[in-house]
Structure 1
Amino acid sequence: ELLNVKLTMADVMGESAYNDDLINVVNDLKAKGLLVESNGAQCVFLEELKTADGEPLPVIIGKADGGYLYATTDLAAVRYRSGVLTADRALYFVDQRQALHFQQVFDVARRAGLVTPPMHMEHTAFGPVTGSDARPFTTPARAP
């Protein structure tokens, strides 16, 4: 209430809830002229982000074998949060090791029009959560 958050448990969705929309994300990026095929994969190249060789850094949206990646699911989630939930702000509290990923996803989402104003997306990074062995804790791999 104090933060003026109007979400309910019905608004909370797991990653698999977006599976049916992944092909639509790919098609929307293709229609906007953002997708480029590279070694069989469907990618968006961000000119402002460079590899160590100075080449534009790719955001892989679709794998050569037809599978999808975190970026595809996150783009579908961004679209849902903007279009269906009409969020004006989305905060992502995620390990700092994911900073580049979220920078890429937010940039692609804006370029593709998956986010409508006034929605603002922020990655609030924190250090890794470690297990008793002092190694970073990870969740199980996402389903394809």
Structure 2
Amino acid sequence: MDRGTISSRIAALREECARLGRELVESGQGLSSGDAFELAGEAQGLANSADALVAVSAAWGARFETRLSGDGPAERVHPLGFVDGMSAVMFCLEAGLTEGVAGRKVVLGAALGERFPRTRDLLVEGAVGTITAQKVVDACAGLD
């Protein structure tokens, strides 16, 4: 799978979500309370999966470390779970997030990829939210 293929698929998903959102804005008044909250729950599962896509992508990007030397920049690739000090800055510039928010997303993705693959998989499936995944990571901080 290459970046172009993934980017095209993301664009198609984003457009479909926007289309659904516009339809709901225009015709949501006919929904019952139960139906509206059920749809909101289903959409939250979609948002959870999208958050996982962000976390996984950020974790893959964070493992690249660039060092400057007399010969110019040298790139070193670390295993999944490593977080380069510049990764939050690089991600915030791409995503339009603050550096703090971007950094938290990068660190979460790295932790899920390295130490918590089952929690990551639940996030990918949309079964849990980012907050729940973060709570797992935080609760296990310092444990081996």
Rg larger for: 2
TM-score of the superposed pair, with normalisation by structure 1 = 0.23
Indicate the structure whose relative CO is greater, using CA pairs within 8 Å and at least 6 residues apart: 2
Question: Counting strand residues as a fraction of each chain, which structure ranks higher?
Answer: 1
TM-score of the superposed pair, with normalisation by structure 2 = 0.23
